[in-house]
Amino acid sequence: MTETFHVSGFTGSCCSRLCFHQSAVCKVASQAERGFKPAKVAVVTKTTRYEFEQQRYRYAGLSEEDLKQLLALKGSSYNGLLERHNIHTINVGQIVDSLQKEGIEVRIVKRGEYDEDTVRWADAIISAGGDGTMLLVASKVYDKNKPVLGVNTDPERSEGHLCLPVHYTHAFSEALQKLRKGEFRWQWRQRIRMNLEGTGINPTPVDLHELQLSLEQHNKAHRITTDTQSSMTHNSPERPHLLPVRGLNEIFIGESLSSRLKYKSFKPHLTLSLHRASYYEISIDDGPWEKQKSSGLSICTGTGSKAWSYNINKLVEQAVEDVLRIGKLKTGLDVPLNREFIASVTETYNESLIFSPEEDKLFFSIREPIVNRVFSNSRQRGFAKKVCVRSRCWDACMVVDGGTSFEFNDGAIATITLNEEDLLRTVILD
C-alpha cells in the first residue's frame, strides 16, 4: 500500500500506512478525521423467522391460513412472528431513509444475495439484523479500510454485541450525523488467519451462510481433495494454504457431521453423534506438541471473547459457590458464602475472560477436556500469539464464526495467527 491509496468511506487518510503499527492504528482511530462520508452504502438485511416459516410452508404448499394454524399448533404465534418481522422492516426503512436524506446511494441486499460484487461496489456496508448478520457481512470484507457497521434491528430479541448501541436502532439518523461529523472513533477489530497444510486437506470453503447452498454443492466442495489418490500426490505436506476467510469471533475445531456426506459409503459404520470426542495435537506459541481429547477446541479474538468462547469458559454462581464452600471446609477459614460475595467472585472471574477486540492476541480453550489413563491435559486455556493444531480426527471440521466450514481430518495441520492485514474496520459510537 502507498500514501496515495484511496481509503473507502472517507478521503485522504494516511491511515492505511499507519495501520501497520497497532499503536498508530489506535492513535489514528481515536480521531476519525474528516468523518465517515461514504458515497455508496450497502444495507444487508437478515432473514426474519417470519420469512423463514413463510418460505418453509409455502414450499410445502400451505396457504397463509394454514401457516397460522400450524404455528398456533406449535405454540408459536403467527402474529408474534409478524410483529417481530415488521419491527425489523421498519428499522431497516429508517436506516435507508436516513442514508438517502444525506444523498448517499443505497443498495438494500438480502442476506442471501450478499456477495463480493456488493462489497466492491460499496464504500461502506451496514448490517441490518443481529450479530449473525454482522458476522456474515464481515466475512466477505477483506479491505481493512472499508468500514462495516452493524445495526441491531430487533433489540428485544437479539443481543447485538457487534452492533451499534441499541439506542441508535430507533435513531439511526442521529448516529449518521455523529459519524459524518467525526464524533466517533474507528475500531480495527483483529481477525484470525488460518493456514492449512498436510494431507487430505481441502482449502475450499463451504459457505454455510450461502443461501443457495445445496447438499450437493456442500458435498462437492468437500470432495475436491478427498479422492485418496489426489491427496497422496497433490497434497504434499510442503504446501500450506492460506484459507480464504478470516475469523472475527472464533474458529472451532471438532468432530462434526458437516463433512459426513462425502463418506457415506466410506464410513457407514461411524456413529453420528453430537459429542464424538475430537482427537488432535496442539502446540502453543511453537511450544511442544501435546495430545488432546476433548469436545473440540475454540480459538477466539477479543471480539469473540464475549461470544461463544465466553460461554464455554464462564462459570455460573452455582459452581463458584461450590468451589468456595469446599475451600472453606478444607481450610476452616471464614470464607463468606452470601449471594453478594458469590456474585462478585463470579463476575470477576468471568470478566477476566474478556479482552479488547483490538488486542493482537488469541485466546484458546479446550472444550470439555477428557482426562484419563490414555489422555492427559495440562493447560485448558490461555492467551497465545500462535496456535498450531494437528488433526487426529476422522470426520472433523474447522468452522469459522459458525459460518464457514473446512474439512480438518487426520493428517491436516492448521496454523492459527493474527495479522495486521486482516483487521476489520468498524466504528465506536458512545
Interacting positions 86-115 with its own copies (CB under 8 A):
111-112
**Using the rule CB under 8 A, which residue among 18, 26, 108, 370 binds its own copies?**
370
Cα–Cα distance measured from residue 224 to residue 201, given in angstroms and rounded to the nearest whole number: 9
Using DSSP bridges, classify how beta strands 278-284 and 387-391 pair: parallel, antiparallel or unpaired.
Answer: antiparallel
Candidates 15-23, 83-91, 121-129, 290-298: pick the segment binding its own copies (CB under 8 A): 290-298
Minimum distance between the CB of residue 399 and its own copies, rounded to whole angstroms? 5
Q: Is 2 in the site for its own copies (CB under 8 A)?
A: no
Q: Is 290 in the site for its own copies (CB under 8 A)?
A: no
Is the distance from CB of 248 to CB of 401 less than 8 angstroms? yes
122, three cell numbers: 460499496
115, three cell numbers: 456477495
Using alpha carbons, select from 190, 185, 208 the residue that is nearest to residue 132.
208
Using alpha carbons, select from 135, 105, 103 the residue that is nearest to residue 43.
105
Q: Is 224 in the site for its own copies (CB under 8 A)?
A: no
Q: Site for its own copies (CB under 8 A): how many residues?
A: 107
Cα–Cα distance measured from residue 16 to residue 185, given in angstroms and rounded to the nearest whole number: 16
Q: Is 65 in the site for its own copies (CB under 8 A)?
A: no
State the sign of the Cα–Cα–Cα–Cα dihedral 244, 249, 254, 257.
negative
- Closer to its own copies by CB, 132 or 203: give it: 132
- Closer to its own copies by CB, 31 or 352: give it: 352
Q: Is 165 in the site for its own copies (CB under 8 A)?
A: no
Q: Is 79 in the site for its own copies (CB under 8 A)?
A: no
Neighbours of 131 (CB within 10 A): 21
Question: How do the residues of the chain divide into helix, strand and coil, expressed in percent and rounded to 5?
Answer: 35, 25, 45
Q: What residues numbered 114-153 form the site for its own copies, per CB under 8 A? A: 132
- Closer to its own copies by CB, 258 or 356: give it: 258
* Cβ-Cβ contacts under 8 Å for 400 (sequence gap 6 or more): 139, 192, 194, 205, 243, 245, 246, 247, 251, 406
Cα–Cα distance measured from residue 351 to residue 414, given in angstroms and rounded to the nearest whole number: 29
Minimum distance between the CB of residue 378 and its own copies, rounded to whole angstroms? 9
- Closer to its own copies by CB, 103 or 316: give it: 316
**Using the rule CB under 8 A, which residue among 26, 82, 108, 213 binds its own copies?**
213
**Using the rule CB under 8 A, which residue among 8, 45, 405, 426 binds its own copies?**
405
Give the orientation angle of helix 78-101 with respect to helix 64-73, to 10 degrees: 120
Q: Is 269 in the site for its own copies (CB under 8 A)?
A: yes
**Using the rule CB under 8 A, which residue among 10, 252, 355, 406 binds its own copies?**
252
**Using the rule CB under 8 A, which residue among 30, 79, 228, 419 binds its own copies?**
228
**Using the rule CB under 8 A, which residue among 34, 267, 339, 385 binds its own copies?**
267
**Using the rule CB under 8 A, which residue among 33, 379, 415, 417 binds its own copies?**
379
Q: What residues numbered 23-52 form the site for its own copies, per CB under 8 A? A: 47, 52
**Using the rule CB under 8 A, which residue among 173, 258, 356, 417 binds its own copies?**
258
Minimum distance between the CB of residue 323 and its own copies, rounded to whole angstroms? 5
Cα–Cα distance measured from residue 202 to residue 225, given in angstroms and rounded to the nearest whole number: 6
**Using the rule CB under 8 A, which residue among 11, 30, 31, 76 binds its own copies?**
76
Minimum distance between the CB of residue 161 and its own copies, rounded to whole angstroms? 9
Beta-sheet strands, E only, within 285-410: 290-294, 297-300, 362-366, 381-384, 387-391, 396-400, 404-407
Q: What residues numbered 309-338 form the site for its own copies, per CB under 8 A? A: 311-312, 315-316, 318-320, 322-324, 326-327, 330-331, 333-336
- What does residue 90 show for φ and ψ, rounded to 5 degrees? -60, -45
Cα–Cα distance measured from residue 235 to residue 352, given in angstroms and rounded to the nearest whole number: 41
Using alpha carbons, select from 157, 102, 103, 152 the residue that is nearest to residue 126.
152
Q: Is 232 in the site for its own copies (CB under 8 A)?
A: yes
**Using the rule CB under 8 A, which residue among 399, 414, 418, 427 binds its own copies?**
399
CA distances from 164 to 98, 144, 154, 177, 312 (A): 15, 19, 12, 14, 25
**Using the rule CB under 8 A, which residue among 34, 56, 120, 234 binds its own copies?**
56
